[in-house]
Structure 1
Amino acid sequence: MAILLGQPGSCWVAAATATDFPRLEGSLRADAVVVGAGIVGLTTALRLCEAGRSVVVLEGLRTGGQVTGRSTAKITTQHALIYRHLIDTVGLELAQDYADANSAGAQQIRDWVNNHAIACDLDSKDAYTYTCSESRRAEVVAEAEAARQVGLEADLLDRAPVPFETTAALRFPDQAQFNPTMYLIGLAAAVTARGGRIFENSRATSIDEASRWRVVTDGGAVDAGDVIVATNMTVKSPVGMANRTQPRCHTAMAFRIDDPRPVDGMFIGIDDPTHSIRTGRDAEGPLLVALGPKFNTGWDGDVARRFIELEKWARKNLPVGDVAWRWCNEDYDTADRIPYAGEPDPTKAAGFHIATGFNAWGITNGTVTGTMIADLICGRPSRWQKLYDPARPYPEDFHKNGRSQSIVSSTHDIAPGMGGVIVRGDEKIAAWRDTEGALRAVSATCTHKGCTVSWNNADRTWDCPCHGSIFAADGSVIHGPARKPLAQIAL
């Protein structure tokens, strides 16, 4: 495998001061328990705290270090070619709701940044969708017309203000970008200042209902009247979400730049392969962040190649210097491009709330669904319930399972720093070598639904090609829906 440049990890996480909340030990009671300290979970928690509810937040790892902290963190209502699609497929009314909901989410972020004095590098920027192909100009024109139909300001341009040739662009003025990890740390501080309790390294291992909802971790349990599962993909739901969504990843790289002015804005291309661009910064100075095209989680046997391709594209098209950071992020797509959020089954599982399927636009959608869930818990009906209805019909053939891309004949095929799956009778073993060549092994059977994992040779993780669970090399859970680690195996 080629040597990848840059530090592994998100530039947003690296630029933030890590939180240090305690691990849950013992039993607690609360009005609501939130599982997951990402943008949905902390938004819901803060909204509930503002309403005077007692709230406990359980985070399996660290606040702000997971999906939200690895996103591009664009605060925008421009979600590529979304409005023409929505008008054509679900109608003007729901397309209008989507635009208004995301506008409300964007405004909520700005309000909380101001009200709670959150230092998160919030910066107003125009957002652009662009194409480099003359044959796709008509799609940009159609999107401009659709955006105006739902009341959004959308300017059609002959080219995007980027240092490479484009044939058309759509500009949404006065959008914004920020450091999402710093923002979540600020939300967490606001939650605790209002009496909320946050526990880290406290992964939910079971969620069950008795007289109240009970969420159990390795160290304790929380009983609450409402539970909010805000874990990217739900780790439990009364209505199955895994087959309503498709897990996908993308690669991201942050490059050193001398002058951020040549890329003044946030940009997303519609051509294949797609790329997304924005500026940012870490402790050492300004950065240019570029994203590569999406790919199904666990379906690519050479993720490292995608970083190499992304770096080549960036060096060809952008004024970038050294690679500073690189990372993968995961999201879940839905068939209609609208997230699922709310109570999946209020008649049989009242008080159980979820949010998932953000289609890579979780900053504004995640904020508005978090506020919606909190409002519903407080007895305030929300205009967005129909839009995000988690029990709405879906095409049953949308979700596709993949197969492990890492089957090898023996451990001799596994080089230092690499991993592979060995089939031994009915047993599948996920084996990997550390950089010194020492061999380790865990079960290759995902603890969610039993699929065989793939080795991610860039992040050095075990990724499930069925429902998107991601495990560290040692088998510990990074992302659900799996709740239990891969079993240890002695070779």
Structure 2
Amino acid sequence: MSIDLPGRAGSCWTVDRSTFRHPSLQASLHAETVVVGAGIVGLTTALRLREQGHEVAVIEALDVGGQVTGRSTAKITTQHRLIYHQLIELRGRELAQDYADANKAGCDLVRSWVEQYAITCDFEDRDAFVYTQDQARRDEIAAEARAAQSLGMDAAILSRAPLPFKTAAALRFPGQAQFNPAKYLDGLAKAFIECGGLLFERSRARLIDEASRWRVVTDNGNVHAENVVVATNMTVKSPLGMARRTQPRMHIAMAFRTDDVRLLDGMFISLEEPSRSLRMGRDPDGSLLIVLGPRFNTGQDGDVASRFRELETWVRRHFEVGDTAWRWCNEDYDTSDRIAYVGEPDPEKAPGFYIATGFNAWGISNGTAAGMLIGDLILGRQSRWKALYDPKRSAPDDFHHDGKSQSILTSVEDIAVGHGGVIEKGAEKIAVCRDSRGELHVLSAKCTHKGCTLTWNNADLTWDCPCHGSIFSADGSVIHGPAKDPLPQATL
């Protein structure tokens, strides 16, 4: 299939990786803990436990670092746009301090492990900036600076951001960092295995249940363990449902060629909407300007491709860059209070069952802190962060909003090459896409999680769920949960 968009589809982080890969699970085994998902939460948890001599097995449905973590902007920072003033006002100073401390600890652990395990991941120190182009919002910048300073963080107000276009004010956090997240996770995986851990790729968890111990079932093998950690962006199973306590949302990213390695000196995010997140990076062919576009609810936009065109126009208006090298979408889950759900959802009915989800686009520091917390809980250690991330805390009933398919068409003839749509056949909804040869691929349009009708993503060429965020490839295989099963074949 093809779509007329600039750049190569895919994340710039995953192209230049080592050949160090992992087998799939082909037998049944036992471990003290089984971790489902080899992203930043899963591998942080696994390595922390293994460093203490704990028996750990990790299973990954696809490839290490190839999903959400490997498609992030990979800013290692405690600056999460404007958050600390809001946390103090809504949740109190003590909890805001815990959030600041947890994320600083996460950033510090990343830095420490890069050095300790000699992980080659383009780790670089960078300052982080929030900027505004609106003079009327300078007070918000000042309030955030005061809040951050009161929590012990180094934060400074600038009259303008060091950007090649006009800004009204900026908030600067010095001493932050950036890296290639896929290479970092490859490094964690290598360290984990060298410490005696077991890691299996291409081993999707089809069933998680409780026998004499927790059991995770894959197509070709099972893992039995005292503890199970579900670290799959959105939980594929949980004793306390998370799908309606979070909101799935997506953002787009593009990477542009540049010969100017100093085009940006720092990492930047706009205060205004549509949001713009900016940083420098690289791939095997040279330096890149990496820019994120605005967020939107997964599966609730019928023309994602237009967002890429709008973002490219904005970038070329503000920066002198070369060709568009890469473009991709990434997904995350938001929570009502901007704090992730991490820990045991139901320690009485489901002891030893741990989850982590809802990172609100700040999963590098928060995800590392989540792995640290889960590791401590499994090892029986006390942690101040347990209450901060408590997955049992109350959540408003009206936060989550299901959407409807944006791809309903009246005829297959309306589907052009490289595009897809949903055809209604009586009460049945049929997902149809047309490949570059003009051939049709026909699947059920019903999400295998809860049955919502899917939307065609005309940029990533995927089927996206507008209710709970599951994403399927054009052939129906699962890319992101909470769905575990592929879309079945259908007939027109």
- How high is the TM-score relative to the length of structure 1? 0.99
Matched, 1:335 2:336: yes
What is the deviation of 1:356? 0.3
Find the residue that maps to 1:316 and give its secondary structure. Answer: helix
- Following the alignment from structure 2 to structure 1, what is the Cα–Cα distance between the partners of residues 281 and 17? 13
Instruction: Quote the residue 1:268 is aligned against.
Output: 269
Instruction: Quote the residue 2:70 is aligned against.
Output: 69
Matched, 1:222 2:223: yes
**RMSD of aligned alpha carbons:** 0.9
Cα distance, 1:140–1:125 mapped onto 2, change above 3 Å: same
Find the residue that maps to 1:292 and give its secondary structure. Answer: strand
> Structure 1, residues 417-441: CA drift from partner, whole Å, max 9, x if none?
1100001011100000111100111
- Following the alignment from structure 1 to structure 2, what is the Cα–Cα distance between the partners of residues 18 and 271? 41
What is the deviation of 1:383? 1.2
Instruction: Quote the residue 1:436 is aligned against.
Output: 437
> Structure 1, residues 84-140: CA drift from partner, whole Å, max 9, x if none?
110111011000000000000000000000000000000000000000011111111
- Following the alignment from structure 1 to structure 2, what is the Cα–Cα distance between the partners of residues 490 and 60? 28
What is the deviation of 1:219? 1.2
What is the deviation of 1:332? 0.2
What is the deviation of 1:361? 0.1
After TM superposition, the structure 1 = structure 2 runs for residues 189-200 of structure 1, keeping only pairs within 5 Å, are 189-200=190-201
Moved beyond 6 Å, runs of 4+ = none
Q: How many residues align?
A: 491
Cα distance, 1:62–1:19 mapped onto 2, change above 3 Å: farther
After TM superposition, the structure 1 = structure 2 runs for residues 158-169 of structure 1, keeping only pairs within 5 Å, are 158-169=159-170
- Following the alignment from structure 1 to structure 2, what is the Cα–Cα distance between the partners of residues 411 and 17? 43
Matched AA of 1:319? E
Matched AA of 1:211? S
Cα distance, 1:274–1:149 mapped onto 2, change above 3 Å: same
The answer (yes or no) to whether the contact 2:50–2:192 under 8 Å persists in 1 is yes
What is the deviation of 1:262? 2.9
Instruction: Quote the residue 1:59 is aligned against.
Output: 60
Find the residue that maps to 2:463 and give its secondary structure. Answer: strand
After TM superposition, the structure 1 = structure 2 runs for residues 282-361 of structure 1, keeping only pairs within 5 Å, are 282-361=283-362
- Following the alignment from structure 2 to structure 1, what is the Cα–Cα distance between the partners of residues 19 and 380? 35
After TM superposition, the structure 1 = structure 2 runs for residues 34-113 of structure 1, keeping only pairs within 5 Å, are 34-113=35-114
The answer (yes or no) to whether the contact 2:3–2:459 under 8 Å persists in 1 is no
Matched AA of 2:293? G
Matched AA of 2:101? D
Instruction: Quote the residue 1:465 is aligned against.
Output: 466
The answer (yes or no) to whether the contact 2:3–2:418 under 8 Å persists in 1 is no
Instruction: Quote the residue 2:157 is aligned against.
Output: 156
What is the deviation of 1:18? 4.9
Instruction: Quote the residue 2:238 is aligned against.
Output: 237
What is the deviation of 1:15? 2.2
- Following the alignment from structure 2 to structure 1, what is the Cα–Cα distance between the partners of residues 289 and 137? 26
- Following the alignment from structure 1 to structure 2, what is the Cα–Cα distance between the partners of residues 453 and 151? 46
> Structure 1, residues 47-100: CA drift from partner, whole Å, max 9, x if none?
010011111111000001000000000000000000011011101100000000
Instruction: Quote the residue 2:115 is aligned against.
Output: 114
Matched AA of 2:166? E
- Following the alignment from structure 2 to structure 1, what is the Cα–Cα distance between the partners of residues 133 and 155? 19
Find the residue that maps to 1:488 and give its secondary structure. Answer: coil
- Following the alignment from structure 2 to structure 1, what is the Cα–Cα distance between the partners of residues 473 and 318? 34
Find the residue that maps to 1:87 and give its secondary structure. Answer: helix
What is the deviation of 1:489? 1.4
- Following the alignment from structure 1 to structure 2, what is the Cα–Cα distance between the partners of residues 296 and 137? 29
Find the residue that maps to 2:42 and give its secondary structure. Answer: helix
What is the deviation of 1:161? 0.2
- Following the alignment from structure 1 to structure 2, what is the Cα–Cα distance between the partners of residues 17 and 434? 31
Find the residue that maps to 1:121 and give its secondary structure. Answer: coil
The answer (yes or no) to whether the contact 1:332–1:358 under 8 Å persists in 2 is yes
What is the deviation of 1:2? 7.0
- Following the alignment from structure 1 to structure 2, what is the Cα–Cα distance between the partners of residues 232 and 2? 27
Instruction: Quote the residue 2:490 is aligned against.
Output: 489
Find the residue that maps to 2:14 and give its secondary structure. Answer: helix
Matched AA of 2:384? R
- Following the alignment from structure 2 to structure 1, what is the Cα–Cα distance between the partners of residues 143 and 294? 23
- Following the alignment from structure 1 to structure 2, what is the Cα–Cα distance between the partners of residues 208 and 262? 51
What is the deviation of 1:19? 4.1
The answer (yes or no) to whether the contact 1:161–1:264 under 8 Å persists in 2 is yes
> Structure 1, residues 341-378: CA drift from partner, whole Å, max 9, x if none?
00000000000000000000000000011011011101
Find the residue that maps to 1:466 and give its secondary structure. Answer: coil
- Following the alignment from structure 2 to structure 1, what is the Cα–Cα distance between the partners of residues 325 and 349? 49
- Following the alignment from structure 2 to structure 1, what is the Cα–Cα distance between the partners of residues 417 and 137? 45
Instruction: Quote the residue 2:257 is aligned against.
Output: 256
> Structure 1, residues 285-305: CA drift from partner, whole Å, max 9, x if none?
110100001000000000000
The answer (yes or no) to whether the contact 1:442–1:488 under 8 Å persists in 2 is yes
The answer (yes or no) to whether the contact 1:343–1:350 under 8 Å persists in 2 is yes
- Following the alignment from structure 2 to structure 1, what is the Cα–Cα distance between the partners of residues 382 and 208? 26
- Following the alignment from structure 1 to structure 2, what is the Cα–Cα distance between the partners of residues 156 and 331? 29
What is the deviation of 1:278? 0.3
What is the deviation of 1:381? 1.2
- Following the alignment from structure 1 to structure 2, what is the Cα–Cα distance between the partners of residues 354 and 157? 39
- Following the alignment from structure 1 to structure 2, what is the Cα–Cα distance between the partners of residues 380 and 190? 23
Instruction: Quote the residue 1:391 is aligned against.
Output: 392
Find the residue that maps to 1:12 and give its secondary structure. Answer: coil
Matched AA of 2:161? A
Instruction: Quote the residue 1:363 is aligned against.
Output: 364
